[in-house]
Amino acid sequence: MIEQKTYLPLVGIETILTIINKISIFGGFSDKQLNFIFKLLKKVYYRADEYIFKQGGEPSYIYIIREGRVKIVASVEDKPMELIEFTVGDCFGEVSIIGIEPHSANAVAVADTELIVLSRKALFSIFELDKELFGLLILNIAREACRRLHKTDETMLHYFMEK
């Protein structure tokens, strides 16, 4: 069971913008658009070894690591298989949100971790309020998903060629 968390408002846009400007899903945004997104973001804390979400769970947030590390671990035939580890500035969970699919793996805090989050509800409110911004955000998420898929294909091919 995942513990209920308290999601707190972000303060100090200047400190957050240094991270947000490096996140690929926010690439190409104007200062006005970044300010708009900032108002929708929250922060949440996880202790080391705490689950952020579980495989098969319903996606509810896009996560950006402000401090700490998170590993993504899939259970395959009841055996854990670590897929990737994310660090400060990395983003995860976005593909599950737009794909409207359950999470395909577990996300676990490797160390005490602070995350910046954009809720599914906030994401879809952007559609109602600023369709141009929403379109750019979804395009950026799709590009990131394609990059990860390409990287996965290369890894799988390398693994296959070794066998």
**Has residue 13 got a pLDDT over 90?**
no
Structure token pair of residue 108: 């676990």
pTM higher than 0.85 for the full model? Answer: yes
Task: Write the DSSP string, 69-121.
Answer: -EEEEEEETTEEEEEEEE-TT-EESHHHHHHT---SSEEEESSSEEEEEEEHH
Instruction: Look at residue 1 in the predicted model and tell me its pLDDT.
Output: 59
Lowest mean pLDDT among 28-32, 49-53, 113-117: 28-32
Q: In order of start, what are the domains of the chain with their CATH numbers?
A: 8-162 (2.60.120.10)
Over residues 125-156, the pLDDT tens digits come to 999 999 999 999 999 999 988 887 777 666 66
Beta carbons within 10 angstroms of residue 86's beta carbon: 19
Phi and psi at residue 71, to the nearest 5°:
-110, 145
Residue 104 and residue 84: Cα distance in Å, rounded? 13
